[in-house]
């Protein structure tokens, strides 16, 4: 921070309000970023963090309030204005073009040319400079779609540095990283600060805040509820501030009483859409009355594994047995009829039909059975009765059962899916990323329901990228690494460190207790 003036913030947000139709996403937000600091923006999903940084980056226009960069008021009409003012952003959902090379992605928008022709040599040189200066290596000529998630994130960072950003906004940068990669990433962040950059770090993970932040601003319901130095902050105090009430970290959960195996997967091999074998020699057993948590960084075959078990995808090798029936080549409906509930990871794409009513969505998998249908005819009365019953039982907050699911909040949409899949009296429950993007209240509710199912003797296969979720719910834990199950132990033996190592390297020896 050589010579940086501590009193003039590099970035200052004053009284910013941003409204979307029907929703105030930011209300009178004040926020400042001092030179050379890491300032964490902490808040639940939907607290308005992303909206705030999108305003700062010129993607949204604020309804009220102003933004000052190095003391000067600015008005960004587009992100190019923000980029010109020295602001760079690493988006939560990478803004990369998969079929372009790294260099093309980096240069896009600030192209250099030789005559009429695009000149990438200059870009390659600059990328080499950035690599030596900040220690962030990327291959300029690799296609982005061939890179790992961690590498793609580096490209995002390099994009900002290439534009000589002094202020870096990192929106949930760790969501896609393994615990090991997260530590590495924190190293990069510290290095950037040492080079004089100032960083806004957005997260909802308390542990990360304490590890990386200099100062913390907590957002709740679109407002700032507090700004403080990291010294003196604890996980509990931040959590209470973030949620607005006392947060219970542990959910009461008795010991599991496992019964017979309900799901038995042996030597499973599955191809993904591109024909790459993403699940390989995978074997596992899930018994009645237990929750098996499958941890792992996303993209290690979770999607294909879940789809294969649910009958959505035909495995090319191995065998799947559910409740004693061979379901390896069965259709999704056949699998469901054996008593399998499935909460898919992509809520909007796979879980609900947004334009349909809550009632229709609640019978989406059973609409063809009595009493919801008689032969080919729908029985709307039975469907409505069912809907009323489930809306009540699962506390779905809605003005009525005819409301399109699109009009519900994310938490209530997920409750619709949970209600549908849990109420069919399943023997096996496949749950993928059940609480992604939800608020704490909904997370608690859904976790309780899953434990309830276990206690009723349902076998639960939980696939989640959130280690915390796995550790909260699972009775046994496995790690999916490059399509293989690389470790499987009881919850008691599954420490965060051990799982983290397995997720990162897939190596058991590295994970063995020293």
Considering the rule CB under 8 A, would residue 317 count as an interface residue with another protein? yes
Considering the rule CB under 8 A, would residue 425 count as an interface residue with another protein? no
Considering the rule CB under 8 A, would residue 204 count as an interface residue with another protein? no
CA angle (466, 471, 473) in 5-degree steps: 95
Task: Please classify residue 242 by burial: count the beta carbons closer than 10 Å to its beta carbon, then call 0-12 exposed, 13-18 middle and 19+ buried.
Answer: buried
First-to-last alpha carbon distance for the chain, in angstroms, is 40
Q: Which is nearer to another protein, 83 or 494 (CB)?
A: 83
- Exactly one of 25, 38, 157, 486 binds another protein (CB under 8 A); that residue is 25
Return the beta strands (E) in 70-153 as ranges.
Answer: 72-74, 87-90, 113-114, 117-118
Which 318-357 positions form the footprint of another protein (CB under 8 A)? 331-333, 336, 342, 344, 346, 349-356
Considering the rule CB under 8 A, would residue 59 count as an interface residue with another protein? yes
Report the nearest approach of another protein to the CB of residue 507 (Å): 28
- Exactly one of 116, 252, 492, 514 binds another protein (CB under 8 A); that residue is 116
Q: Which is nearer to another protein, 334 or 488 (CB)?
A: 334
Residue where the block lists tokens 């009595």: 370
Residue where the block lists tokens 């609409």: 367
Considering the rule CB under 8 A, would residue 48 count as an interface residue with another protein? yes
Which 271-310 positions form the footprint of another protein (CB under 8 A)? 271, 273, 275, 310
User: In this structure, are residues 104 and 111 in contact, taking their beta carbons and an 8 Å threshold?
Assistant: no
Residue where the block lists tokens 């008593």: 339
Report the nearest approach of another protein to the CB of residue 488 (Å): 26
For 385-454, the DSSP string reads: HHHHHHHHHTT---S-TTSBGGGS-HHHHHHHHHHHHHHT--SEEEEESTTTT--HHHHHHHHHHHHHHH
Residue where the block lists tokens 């608690």: 444
Which 248-277 positions form the footprint of another protein (CB under 8 A)? 271, 273, 275
Q: Which is nearer to another protein, 151 or 183 (CB)?
A: 151
| Distance of alpha carbon 419 from alpha carbon 54, whole angstroms | 34
- Exactly one of 124, 207, 319, 378 binds another protein (CB under 8 A); that residue is 378
Strands 459-463 and 428-432: parallel
Considering the rule CB under 8 A, would residue 146 count as an interface residue with another protein? no
Considering the rule CB under 8 A, would residue 377 count as an interface residue with another protein? yes
Report the nearest approach of another protein to the CB of residue 330 (Å): 11
- Exactly one of 68, 247, 373, 471 binds another protein (CB under 8 A); that residue is 373
Which 67-106 positions form the footprint of another protein (CB under 8 A)? 78-81, 83, 89, 91, 94-100, 104-105
* DSSP bridge pairs for 167: 87, 198
- Exactly one of 131, 338, 364, 385 binds another protein (CB under 8 A); that residue is 364
Which 154-193 positions form the footprint of another protein (CB under 8 A)? 159
Considering the rule CB under 8 A, would residue 109 count as an interface residue with another protein? yes
Report the nearest approach of another protein to the CB of residue 339 (Å): 13
Instruction: Report how far apart, in Å, the C-alpha atoms of 241 and of each of 18, 37, 227, 270, 411 are.
Output: 22, 22, 10, 45, 21
Instruction: Report how far apart, in Å, the C-alpha atoms of 153 and of each of 110, 144, 175, 177, 384 are.
Output: 20, 10, 11, 9, 47
Considering the rule CB under 8 A, would residue 365 count as an interface residue with another protein? yes
């Amino acid at each position: 921070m050589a010579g940086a003036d501590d009193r003039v913030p590099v970035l200052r947000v004053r009284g910013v309000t941003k409204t979307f139709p029907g929703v105030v996403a930011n209300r009178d937000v004040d926020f400042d970023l001092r030179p050379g600091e890491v300032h964490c923006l902490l808040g639940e999903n939907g607290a308005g963090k992303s909206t705030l940084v999108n305003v700062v980056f010129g993607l949204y226009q604020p309804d009220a309030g102003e933004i000052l960069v190095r003391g000067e008021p600015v008005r960004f009409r587009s992100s190019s204005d923000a980029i010109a003012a020295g602001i760079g952003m690493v988006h939560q959902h990478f803004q990369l073009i998969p079929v372009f090379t790294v260099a093309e992605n980096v240069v896009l928008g600030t192209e250099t040319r030789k005559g009429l022709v695009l000149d990438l040599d200059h870009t390659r040189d600059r990328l080499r400079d950035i690599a030596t200066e900040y220690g962030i290596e990327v291959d300029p000529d690799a296609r982005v779609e061939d890179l790992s998630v961690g590498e793609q994130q580096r490209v995002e960072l390099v994009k900002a540095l290439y534009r000589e950003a002094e202020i870096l906004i990192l929106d949930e940068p760790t969501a896609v990283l393994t615990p090991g990669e997260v530590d590495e990433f924190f190293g990069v962040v510290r290095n950037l600060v040492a080079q004089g950059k100032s960083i806004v770090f957005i997260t909802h993970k308390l542990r990360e805040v304490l590890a990386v932040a200099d100062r913390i601003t907590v957002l709740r319901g679109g407002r700032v509820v507090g700004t403080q130095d990291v010294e003196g902050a604890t996980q509990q105090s931040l959590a209470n501030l973030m949620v607005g009430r006392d947060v219970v970290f542990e959910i009461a959960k008795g010991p599991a009483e496992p019964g017979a195996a309900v799901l038995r997967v042996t030597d499973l091999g599955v191809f993904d859409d591109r024909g790459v074998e993403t699940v390989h020699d995978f074997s596992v057993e899930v018994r009645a009355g237990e929750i098996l948590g499958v941890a792992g960084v996303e993209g290690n075959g979770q999607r294909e594994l879940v789809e294969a078990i649910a009958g959505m995808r035909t495995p090319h090798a191995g065998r799947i047995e559910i409740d004693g029936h061979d379901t390896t080549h069965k259709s999704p409906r056949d699998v469901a009829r054996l008593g399998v509930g499935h909460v898919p990871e992509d809520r909007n794409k796979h879980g609900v039909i947004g334009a349909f009513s809550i009632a229709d969505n609640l019978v989406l998998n059973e609409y063809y059975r009595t009493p919801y249908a008689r032969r080919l005819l729908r029985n709307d009365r039975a469907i409505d009765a069912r809907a009323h019953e489930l809306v009540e039982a699962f506390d779905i907050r809605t003005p009525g059962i005819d409301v399109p699911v699109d009009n519900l909040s994310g938490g209530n949409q997920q409750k619709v899916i949970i209600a549908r899949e849990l109420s069919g009296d399943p023997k096996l429950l496949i749950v993928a990323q059940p609480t992604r993007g939800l608020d704490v209240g909904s997370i608690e509710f859904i976790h309780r329901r899953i434990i309830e199912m276990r206690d009723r003797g349902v076998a639960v296969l939980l696939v989640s990228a959130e280690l915390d979720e796995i550790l909260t719910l699972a009775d046994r834990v496995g790690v999916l690494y490059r399509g293989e199950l690389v470790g499987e132990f009881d919850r008691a033996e599954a420490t965060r460190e051990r799982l983290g190592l397995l997720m990162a390297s897939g190596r058991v020896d590295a994970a063995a207790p020293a």
